[in-house]
Structure 1
Amino acid sequence: MTKPPLTLFLAAPRGFCAGVDRAIKIVEMALAKWGAPVYVRHEIVHNKYVVDDLRAKGAVFVEELDECPDDRPVIFSAHGVPKSVPAEADKRQMIYVDATCPLVSKVHIEAERHHEAGLQIIMIGHEGHPETIGTMGQLPEGAVLLVETEADVAQLEVRDETALAYVTQTTLSVDDTIGIVGALTARFPSIRGPHKEDICYATTNRQAAVKAMAARCEAMLVVGAPNSSNSRRLVEVGARAGCGYAQLVQRAADIDWRSLEGISTIGVTAGASAPEVLVNEVIEALQARFDVTIEQVETATENVEFKVPRVLRASA
């Protein structure tokens, strides 16, 4: 039987960013240096395939430090941790490696600098997300107010309207954040923002690529995990930018084929914590059902690289 034709628009950039690449490398290098098991507090990045692969190599994933023994190394995830976590590790004389993405660390430093200058901090982020917990945990409890929506801005009760600064989670929707920042500056004209926006280059670039191809696609598949903030934002961005149907899939097995019946154009991208092997798996699944023509939609070139911590470089 003849396969129906399908034009597949493949977003570029997509998939792993420099921070995710570095975090995975940190776990692999720690295993090479200290042997298994190496403990990892929280999923190193939000992707089941990556976590399962590292677990098979000897990484043990836990949610809290009290699940780790004193005599084995522990790694803090790319999302960052509250200050209380390394403080507790120091108290227990543990070996630990911080895999926090340098762009998340930049937000931590900004928040501390504003706090030291006597400003109250407003964080734009998602409640309960590890990155938000980590950033808010850089400062004393109550020093940071969290807003998730423009409506939240109207409800804010601040200490002094003239002494405010804002920071943001690095994986938010660029468009949503612009709206929230607009609401903050309208209500608090003297509020200070970051020198350079907090939303990371990888989040911005992946959303831009999705916008560039969305109107040309009848459907879009975003490869990523349900707990990955940047992957979920890509689904939302695709739908808003004119794509009729956008679905988040962890693996090719998750594709809802009934929703793709009768289509002739599809977009494929991947969140910053999704490996290219899973993108290829999705492409192969599409090729098994359609006569696929692949067209690359490239909106940026990325060549960012972050060094691993010195403690691991010394052993390499």
Structure 2
Amino acid sequence: MAQLQDIILAEPRGFCAGVDRAIEIVERALAKFGAPIYVRHEIVHNTYVVNDLKSKGAIFIEDLDDVPPRATLVFSAHGVSKAVQNEAAQRGFQVFDATCPLVTKVHIEVAKLHREGYEFIMIGHKGHPEVEGTMGQLDSGIHLVEDVADVARVNPAQSEKLAVVTQTTLSVDDAAEILKAVKARFPQVREPKQQDICYATQNRQDAVKVLSAQVDVVIVVGSPTSSNSNRLREVSLKLGTPAHMVDSADELRPEWFEGRARVGLTAGASAPEILVRQVIDRIKSFGAISVRSMDGLTETVKFPLPKGLKLGDAGTH
């Protein structure tokens, strides 16, 4: 029976530029204005990150009623609806928007095309905060589809001006399949100039496709609420390589590695590298000897911070 030998690390993995920026916004707000800082929804979908920020003085809320007057409020990386933005403005909170700029790009596209008379089909997962934020950019006229079957049920008021947008953290392959069904039913549908699925989601899925062919089992570090982490596990499973997702090293099971010589390890875009290191240590305790990184892309994307949080910005509480 094969003995556990090698851990192969996916490249790229872990934090993307949008997640880096969102966490830095909360940390800088805490440093500048002091605790507590209120954050609407989990800043990113990772338990470790959220608990770390809680320990530093961040308070995570879902309802703006839970934020005291004149408090500092941060919107999560997933984006928020117009209604939430308007309510925060009316209540006079000091707001820092940590929405990922790639999600903001989708919101801007929706606003622009809406002014030109378009309705929208959105490919995404119902109930995900990013989807709620994008759909909440308009009062009506955005139709959500989660799978190919949903496309047949869409009933837009008109189909001459119809555009498609997607959640940024979908499976690239699944989204392409749903888009194909949308185009078959609405041949004149307008597609985004560049696909909405973000570079980091695409890169991590591409890396898992390469990784899964080289290993006997894939471990994905990510929280259950993380859409992009769940998609990484699915990519491996679709290619026939067993895959498990863990929120922390404690969740690893020795039986997953029995008779498997090579383990592939990746992390979702909201999972910090410290968790990857802890998972490596635990897999080593099961008998793995070597750790190496596969060849892959180096990401260099950086997003600027909002005004008022950059170093040297003047500001008072």
Q: Which TM-score bucket, shorter chain as reference?
A: over 0.9
Pick the aligned partner of 2:175 from 162, 170, 177. 177
Structure 2: distance between partners of 1:174 and 1:315: 42
Task: Give the TM-score taking structure 1 as reference length.
Answer: 0.96
Query: What residue number does 2:63 align with?
Result: 64
Question: In the TM superposition, what whole-angstrom CA distance separates every residue of 1:157-183 from its partner, at most 9, and x where no partner exists?
Answer: 121122100100000000000001111
Partner of 1:257: 254
Higher deviation after alignment, 266-275 or 282-291: 282-291
Say if 2:125 and 2:146, in contact at 8 Å, map to a contact too: yes
- 1:204 is aligned to 2:202: yes
* SS of aligned partner of 1:311: coil
Q: 2:157 aligned with 1:159, yes or no?
A: yes
Q: Distance in 1 between matches of 2:224 and 2:288?
A: 29
After superposition, give the CA deviation of every residue in 1:215-239 in whole Å (9 maximum; x if it has no partner): 2221110000000000000000011
Which structure 1 segments of 5+ residues have no match?
A: none
Could you tell me which residue of structure 2 aligns to residue 77 of structure 1? 76
Deviation readout 1:35-92 (Å, 9 max, x if unpaired): 0000001000000100000000000011111110012101000000001112111111
* Matching of residue 10 in structure 1 with residue 9 in structure 2: yes
Picking from 261, 264, 269, the partner of 1:267 is: 264
Q: Which moved more, 1:3-12 or 1:146-155?
A: 3-12
Instruction: Report the AA paired with residue 131 of structure 1.
Output: E
How far apart are the structure 1 equivalents of 2:149 and 2:80?
28
Contact 1:15 1:270 in 2 (8 A): yes
Distance 1:61 1:291 in 2: 38
Q: Cα deviations across residues 179-223 of structure 1 (Å, max 9, x unaligned)?
A: 011111111110001011100000000000000011222111000
Deviation at 1:5, TM superposition (A): 4.1
Give, in angstroms, the shift of residue 128 of structure 1. Answer: 0.1
Match of 1:130 in 2: 129
Match of 2:40 in 1: 41
Q: Is the 8 A contact 1:286 1:292 kept in 2?
A: no
2:119/2:161 contact within 8 Å kept: yes
Equivalents in 2 of 1:10, 1:311: separation in Å?
A: 38
| Displacement of 1:103 | 0.3
Secondary structure, aligned partner of 2:39: strand
Shift in Å, 1:291: 3.5
Distance in 1 between the 2:213 and 2:132 partners?
Answer: 36
Aligned residues: 312
Indicate the SS of the match to 2:277: helix
Alignment equivalent of 1:238, drawn from 227, 232, 236: 236
Task: Work out the CA distance in 2 between the residues paired with 1:248 and 1:172.
Answer: 17
Residue deviations 1:76-129 (CA, integer Å, cap 9, x gap): 000000011121111111111100000000000111111111111110000000
The 2-side partners of 1:299 and 1:182 are apart by 29
CA deviation digits over 1:286-314, x for unaligned, max 9?
Answer: 11121322232233110000111011111
The whole-number CA distance in structure 1 between the counterparts of 2:268 and 2:223 is: 8
* 2:296 equivalent to 1:299: yes
Deviations 1:112-163 (A, max 9, x none): 11111111111000000000000000111x2100000011111111211221
Match of 1:118 in 2: 117
Counterpart in the other structure of 1:217:
215
Structure 2 unaligned regions, length at least 5: none
Residue 93 of structure 2: aligned partner:
94
Q: Which residue of 2 aligns with 1:105?
A: 104
